[in-house]
Structure formats: C-alpha cells, structure tokens
Amino acid sequence: MAKNNIIKNILKRALYPNHLYKVLKLQRNKKRGHRHENDAQLKLYGKVLKGDFLHYGYYDNPNTLPEDISLNIFYTAQKRYAEKLVELITDKTNLILDVGCGMGGLLKLMNESELRAIGLTPDINQINHIKQTYPNDVLHCKFEDIDSDNYIAQFGTVITSESLQYLDLKTALPIIDKIMKPGGKWIACDYFRLGQAHEKSGHDWESFNTLLAEHGFKMTLEENITPHILPTIAYIYMWATQIGLPVKDFIVDKIQVKNPGLYYMIEKSLPEIDGKLEKNINIINPSLFAQEKKYVLMGIERI
C-alpha cells in the first residue's frame, strides 16, 4: 500500500499540469540561484570528514594502496597536506588570506602556529561553521567580488588550496597583486589540465603559466605532488566501482522483481543512467587523472 501511494504521488507531480509547472519553475529558480552560496555537496563533506578539511590530502607514501586506506589514514593525509602549506609561509607576522577556506581546517592549523589568518568563502554553511568553531574573521564573498580597495597591500601571504581551479584567473590575478604586500607570497596548491584532457575541471597548465608572466608573477617553487594525492582518488574509485556499481545493480534487480511496474517505467532510462555513471566514474579514475592532469604545490611571487 505504501509503495502504491509513493508511485501515485510521483506520477501526480510528474503528469498533472499544475505540478509540472511547479517543477519547471523550481528548476528555473535553481539555475538562477548561486550554488556556491549554499553548496549541499560541500555541506555533506563537512559533516562526514573530521578535521574540517575538504581536499584530497597528501600521502607521504605515494604507494599507499586504496584497500589499505582507513578514515584515520585519510584524515592524517589531509592534515599533512595542510602542514605542507603552512611550512611554506615565511612571513610569520603579517595577515594571511585563505581563499576558499572551506570548513576552516587550514585556519585552525595556522592558529596553532600562532599565525594571523582570515578566511574567504561564498558558502553560508562554511561561514556559519567557522563562526561557531574558530575565532578567525571570514569574508563572505567570491574572491572575484572582494572589495580589493579595502585590502590594498594588506596580506603578507595569500593561499589558494584547491580553490584556484574555481577562480576566473583574468579577474583574480590582478586582485592578488593588489592585496599582497610588497615582497608577499602566494601559495597555491591545485590540479591542472595537461593538453586535451577529456574532463575539463582545473585550469590549463600552459595557459596558467602564461597568465602568471603576463601579470608580473614568477613561480619560485614548483612541486609536482600528483603521486601523493592519487591514493585518495584511487580510494574513491575503488568504492565507486567495487561497491557503488554493484549496489546500483542490486537495487535495479530488486525493483525488477518486487515492483515490475516501476521497473517498466525506468527501464528505457537505465542505459542513459549507466552512461552518466560511467562518465562520472571516469573522472575519478586514477590512471586517467595521472595521464591528463598535474597536481602542483607552488610558491608564487612578483617578478
């Protein structure tokens, strides 16, 4: 009876004109909205991962097998990643800006090192968490929208850790130049596309280097840490292929047996669903990632 009611309610909302209009209206409003201001995916990660880090982590042993990774090993790798960033901070006195500060894990580590740092994030969930957890000030905006006139030459260090990929470089680079103190350092850690990567996230490596030079920056440190982040990608890939896909097949088989009517409704959509799953799983294929992308830890200064 409960199953029949569920199906009936779904069909009612899918087929009745007034409900269909409501669906379309909600979808239009979703597209107009700003996902970065209330990112449910990042909110989920923040609840699942302790330590308040949202990055891939750094494994001192790049040969760590995905089958050997526990949550504690992953948390340790995330903290190690943040430690490598803090190790590059040479200006221990002036204010530090953590661009895309996430849940505040790096801010916490800098606080423990008695450094003065503020964060920046457009996500309201992250803002609220940091306000409740850490004493640091946080700017609530996209980096491209920062009131740079109020922060001229205010920061001895600017950090972008897995946030650089989201920045519009032609807008962001002049802002970094404007808000950094003379002799300041920009610490960046992120992945980049190499050549014609099939998956388009991340900036193109060659184009990034060209833009750095055009805007008066030079790279004083370049460390390829791709092997040290790959264990996390391999771990996610293992879960997706060895657990996620079999569970999906199990659910579909159960629907076919227990609810053939519902299965009939979704049967023609299954190949499309499988195609989308395959495409998304390929994004986290560690072999493809290593071929098409480069994860780099950088120290960047003015020429």
Angle, alpha carbons 58-104-296 (nearest 5°)? 30
Q: Does domain 66-228+289-302 have CATH number 3.90.1210.10?
A: no
What is the per-residue pLDDT for 21? 43
Token pair belonging to 152? 């001229």
Nearest to 226, CA basis, from 294, 285, 291, 284: 294
| Long-range Cβ contacts of 118-121 (<8 Å, 24+ apart) | 120/146
What is the per-residue pLDDT for 288? 92
What is the crossing angle of helices 124-133 and 40-48, to 10°? 30
Tokens 């791709």, located at residue: 226
Token pair belonging to 37? 């201001």
What is the per-residue pLDDT for 141? 96
Q: Which amino acid is it at 236?
A: I
Token pair belonging to 53? 């880090």
What is the per-residue pLDDT for 116? 98
What is the per-residue pLDDT for 8? 53
What is the per-residue pLDDT for 280? 86
Tokens 């805007």, located at residue: 215
Domain spans of the chain, in order of start? 66-228+289-302
pTM of the model: 0.81
What is the per-residue pLDDT for 279? 86
User: What's the per-residue H, E or C state across the chain?
Assistant: CHHHHHHHHHHHHHHCHHHHHHHHHHHHHHHHCCHHHCCHHHHHHHHHCCCCCCCCCCCCCCCCCHHHCCHHHHHHHHHHHHHHHHHCCCCCCCEEEEECCCCCHHHHHHHHCCCCEEEEECCHHHHHHHHHHCCCCEEECCHHHCCHHHHCCCEEEEEEECCHHHCCHHHHHHHHHHHEEEEEEEEEEEEEECCCCCCCCCEEHHHHHHHHHHCCEEEEEEEECHHHHHHHHHHHHHHHHHHHHHHHHHHHHHHHHHCHHHHHHHHHHHHHHHHHHHHHHHHCCHHHHHHHEEEEEEEEEEC
What is the per-residue pLDDT for 200? 78
Q: Is the dihedral of CA 141, 145, 150, 156 positive or negative?
A: positive
Exposed e or buried b for every residue in 82-115, given b needs 16+ CB within 10 A? Answer: bebbbebbeeeebbbbbbbbbbbbbbbbbeeeeb
Report, as ranges of residue numbers, the positions in the chain whose pLDDT lies below 70.
1-51, 197
